[in-house]
């Protein structure tokens, strides 16, 4: 404890131990306002608190444990944490036991915010020094985790040990007993032509009120900033493919799902996305891009035969065992999971 302005009146030598000086009845300790000392009664081994302003004269069986010390001051927008805090009743009064010693909540802690200066009772200690509150900016958040049961968060929601949730800015976060700040989180910026691929760390409800199961992945395509939820993790950013009149996209379904064009795709099904469908395409989480297909052009002296052509009804299903003749002049995108050959009058060429 830092020394402050105080006096001792004693006939003892200056070389005598400090505690022995305090224990003499002739010692006089002047305690200024907003300061305190702890006094040990050597008869019953009880330590009590004495606060200023006062002039304290210890009795023969009393020992002053340290010089007058400033009370703890918590300014606005700050906090501190006290270990083994005193126990108070409903009116805020300190509770004492039968030995007139302040009751303590051993092993517990208490977070105190701005208030009048206060002393530490015997047994209390400063677990977290006076610290400014955390300011959370817009498009930012704090990932919190409950370490105790029956915790009410800042939004009035009951939390149990192990629960995680997000404190979103802008705002000032006030720490809570039993709540740990895991890490700060910043929003991801989604530009036009990009998407954000997310994965659920456990069962949750996303920001679109869609239930997600553990391990499920999905895309966020809306341009702007997106702050991932407590149980969401960012897998990666996904770029869009630009389609032209000379380039198409060959896709394969990784599982049965409904694509962005409201078409149900079966597991393993393959199909083409062309400019007539969309100018840009961001692959779904259950779509695999096989390759980019360039347009095939036939001159007026060329023709081709396509083996196992796809169905012309738009389903994209190959017609096994069939062949289709295409004559030039013509340009088309070949469904390359079926074979085709191109002939002209001079030579035979396979592509």
Phi, psi of 18 (to 5 degrees): -60, -45
Say how many residues make up the chain: 351
Buried b (16+ CB within 10 A) or exposed e, 108-119: eebbbeeeeebb
CB 178 within 8 A of CB 146: yes
pTM for the structure as a whole: 0.75
pLDDT of 38 above 70: yes
pLDDT of 316 above 70: no
| Residue 14: C-alpha distances to residues 9, 64, 67, 254 (Å) | 11, 17, 16, 87
pLDDT tens sequence across 201-215: 999 999 999 999 999
| Residue 48: C-alpha distances to residues 17, 24, 97 (Å) | 21, 18, 12
Average pLDDT of the segment spanning 172-180: 93
Query: 318 or 53: which carries more pLDDT confidence?
Result: 53
CB 347 within 8 A of CB 340: no
CB 318 within 8 A of CB 295: no
The pLDDT-based confidence of 311 (bands split at 50, 70, 90) is confident
Query: 17-21, 146-150, 300-304: which has the minimum mean pLDDT?
Result: 17-21
Count of beta carbons in the 10 Å neighbourhood of residue 249: 22
pLDDT of 16 above 60: no
Residue-averaged pLDDT of the chain = 85
The pLDDT of residue 287: 95
Residue keyed to tokens 């770029």: 239
Average pLDDT of the segment spanning 72-91: 94
Average pLDDT of the segment spanning 230-254: 94
pLDDT of 123 above 50: yes
**DSSP assignment of 173-226, as one string?**
EPP-TTEEEEEEEEPEEE-TTEEEEEEESSSEE-TTS-EE-TT-EEEE-SSEEE
């Amino acid at each position: 404890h830092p020394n402050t302005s105080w006096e001792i009146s004693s006939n003892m030598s200056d070389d005598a131990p400090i505690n022995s000086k305090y224990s003499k009845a002739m010692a006089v300790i002047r305690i200024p306002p907003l300061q305190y000392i702890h006094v040990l009664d050597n008869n019953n081994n009880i330590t009590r608190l004495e606060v200023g302003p006062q002039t304290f004269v210890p009795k023969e069986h009393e020992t002053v444990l340290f010089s007058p010390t400033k009370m703890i001051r918590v300014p606005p927008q700050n906090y501190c944490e006290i270990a083994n805090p005193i126990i108070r009743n409903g009116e805020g009064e300190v509770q004492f036991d039968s030995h007139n010693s302040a009751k303590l909540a051993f092993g517990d802690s208490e977070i105190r915010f701005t208030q009048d200066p206060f002393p530490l009772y015997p047994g209390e200690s400063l677990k977290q020094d006076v610290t400014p509150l955390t300011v959370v900016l817009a498009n930012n958040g704090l990932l919190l985790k409950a370490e105790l049961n029956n915790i009410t968060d800042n939004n009035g929601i009951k939390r149990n040990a192990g629960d995680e949730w997000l404190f979103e800015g802008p705002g000032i976060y006030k720490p809570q007993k039993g709540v740990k700040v895991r890490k700060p989180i910043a929003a991801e910026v989604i530009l036009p032509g990009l998407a954000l691929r997310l994965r659920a760390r456990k069962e949750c409800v996303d920001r679109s009120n869609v239930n997600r199961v553990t391990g499920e992945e999905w895309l966020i395509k809306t341009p702007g900033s997106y702050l991932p939820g407590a149980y969401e993790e960012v897998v990666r950013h996904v770029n869009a493919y630009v389609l032209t009149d000379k380039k198409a996209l060959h896709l394969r379904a990784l599982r049965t799902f409904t694509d962005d064009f409201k078409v149900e795709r079966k597991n393993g099904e393959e199909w083409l996305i062309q400019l007539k469908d969309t100018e840009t395409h961001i692959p779904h989480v259950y779509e695999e891009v096989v390759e980019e297909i360039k347009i095939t052009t036939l001159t007026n002296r060329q023709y081709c035969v396509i083996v196992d052509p796809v169905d012309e009804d738009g389903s994209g299903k190959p017609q096994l065992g069939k062949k289709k003749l295409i004559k030039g002049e013509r340009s088309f995108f070949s469904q390359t999971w079926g074979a085709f050959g191109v002939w002209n009058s001079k030579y035979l060429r396979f592509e």
